[in-house]
Each structure stands twice: as C-alpha cells, then as structure tokens.
Amino acid sequence: MQNENGTFEKVMETVSKIESEVSKHIIGQKEIIRQVLMCMLAGGNVLLEGMPGLGKTRLVNVLGKVMGLKFSRIQFTPDLMPADVTGTNIIDRESVEEMFRFQPGPIFSNIVLADEINRATPKTQSAMLQAMQEKTVTVANTTYKLPEPFFVLATQNPIEMEGTYPLPEAQMDRFLFKLNVPSPDFGELKDIIKLTTTNREDKVETVTNAEEIILIQKAAREIPVAEPVLDYAIRLVIATRPDGEGSPEMVKKYVRYGSSPRGAQAIVSTARIRALLCGRYNVSFEDIKNVAYPSLRHRIFVNFDAVSDGISPDMIIDGIIGDVKIYQ
C-alpha cells in the first residue's frame, strides 16, 4: 500500500522502533507509553495525571531524545507569569537605537513539558491556549509561529492535592488525551529500584527526527476509516451529552456537560495510529473503543450527584460503550 509519503510498512517500522526504544528506559507503563505515542503521532497534546514520582517527567524526556526533537521543560509554580512561558520583548542594547527585540520563551520547542501545570494560576495556564490550538504565540501584537512538530505534554497532580488550580474547561479540551498514570506493582517497583539506585545508565538512542515525525503524521491521516466505524465514533461522542437524543440514562443523571466535537476528532485521529501500531491498514471498532477513554474522560464534566455517588468519567464511558450499539 503506497502513498506519497512512502509505504505504510516503513511508517509502521519507525513507530515500532520508537515504542521499543522508549520501553527500554521506562519500566512498566507499557499502555501509557503506547497511548502517549499514539497521541503525539496524531499531532495532539497529552495531559498526564498521577501522583508525584511515577515517572511522568522521565517519560517525556526520553520521548524527546528518542524522537530527536528539541525539548524544553517549564516548571509551573504559583508565581510563574505568562511571559515566562511565551517570551517577551527586551531592549537590544547592542543596537544603536536600542530597539526592542523578541526573546523567545521555553514554549519555542518541539516538545514542551509543562510540569505540574495545575500548580500555576489560571492566568499563566491560559498562556498555553493559543500555542496548543494554533501552534502560534502572540506577543505585543506580533504572532510568532512555533516549530514543527509541536507538542505540549503536561503533567498534573490529582486535583485534591493542596495548592492546585483546576484547569479551565477550554484548556482541558485542547488536550487530545488525558491519561491516568498508575502506580507501579511489586515487580515494576523492584525493577525501578534496581535501575535507579546503581551506577548503570543506558544511553537513549535516537531513532527518528522531526521531518520523519511530520511524514508519519501525514501518512496516518490516509488510513481509511469505514463509514460504519466513523458513525460509531460519532454516536459515542453524542451519547456523552445529557441533552442528546437517545443519551443513556446514566449520562442524563450524572453528566453536566458532554464532549465537544474535538472529542470525535481525537477518537478518529488516534484510532488511525492505533491501527498502525497493531499492524493494520484500517480502523476497527475495537480501536474506537480503546481510544474513547483517554479521548473523552476529560471532556465529560460530571455533576454533584456523580461526585456524591462516586461515579467517575471512566464509569460513564463504560456505560456509554455498553449502551451504544456498533451498528444502528
């Protein structure tokens, strides 16, 4: 199967190499690694939520090295200002007229690690919005284009932790995936201790580059999605809306707001990448179900009844997948 960017076999081989190399340096978290990779190759941003010390920052760092991309890290704190993220105009004293020039901030990178993004104030969090959606930054009426490819991989601590600010709904919607990072089990924790408390340190090998990542993204968009599969993805998204026709009773009872159209875009674009990772040239219903959870869990806003009854967005997605028929 040939396309203008080369064979899909070549794309699949490169993607497999990336996944294999990252897995050498991150113990456990195989499903998280795959989902982050799926999201990035679909051109999206990722939100990783979990307790401190689970390797979220290390995962992003390793991905940058393996992909051969320019990497920068922003530690979000309550006193961080928007200009610390985007950059600002400074006086160029070397110039005869002392004209202002733009000093780019750390957001001018291929992979931006927004570490503990929910520890900054909403004012600073919002500095990321334009970059995440439009891949540009505007400072003093001048718009600057960010390098390609561009990804924001943000980490956040659970909302219940002290000193955190919940991300606004508009910003949550800019993340293609939200991933819940689990704690390691006994075997994984043992391997982590062995790896991190000795002098052994394996070198991270770079297996691709920015140009090839862009080609993979373009090739993935050509993976066909059959009409019934596309219809199923759309019905899942519509079923998240409490005012939608035929929405499950669970949604009507527990959901305040459902997913925006970006939820459907996230499901379809990442399902294509999952098909490639599984060695297929077409998207299956199983691909749609698999990516529905990370695509929708941060786009479903539950009400007070759900909180009091202990109902999570993932439980609601379970109910939607059980209720929505594949063929209709």
- Tens digit of pLDDT for each residue in 144-199? 899 989 999 998 877 656 667 788 888 888 999 999 888 888 887 887 787 777 77
pTM for this predicted structure: 0.86
pLDDT value at residue 263: 93
Confidence check: pLDDT of 29 > 90: no
pLDDT value at residue 4: 44
pLDDT value at residue 254: 94
Confidence check: pLDDT of 325 > 70: yes
Backbone angles phi, psi at 260, to 5 degrees: -80, 175
Rounded to whole angstroms, the Cα distance separating 142 from 145 reads 10
pLDDT value at residue 158: 73
Measured at the alpha carbon of residue 38, what is the angle toward residues 22 and 293, in degrees to the nearest 5?
120
pLDDT value at residue 104: 87
Can you read off the two tokens belonging to residue 140? 């003093």
pLDDT band at 3 (very low <50, low <70, confident <90, very high): very low
pLDDT value at residue 237: 94
pLDDT value at residue 281: 84
| Percent of the residues in the chain that have a pLDDT greater than 70, as a whole number | 93
pLDDT value at residue 1: 42
- Tens digit of pLDDT for each residue in 256-288? 999 999 999 999 999 999 988 888 888 999 999
pLDDT value at residue 295: 95
- Tens digit of pLDDT for each residue in 34-59? 899 899 989 899 999 887 777 777 88
pLDDT band at 2 (very low <50, low <70, confident <90, very high): very low
pLDDT value at residue 236: 94
Confidence check: pLDDT of 250 > 50: yes
pLDDT value at residue 7: 60
* Beta-carbon count within 10 A of 90 CB: 10
Confidence check: pLDDT of 245 > 80: no
- Tens digit of pLDDT for each residue in 72-127? 999 988 888 888 888 887 777 766 666 777 888 899 999 999 988 888 888 888 88
User: Who has greater pLDDT, 26 or 111?
Assistant: 111
Rounded mean pLDDT of 213-225?
87
pLDDT value at residue 312: 92
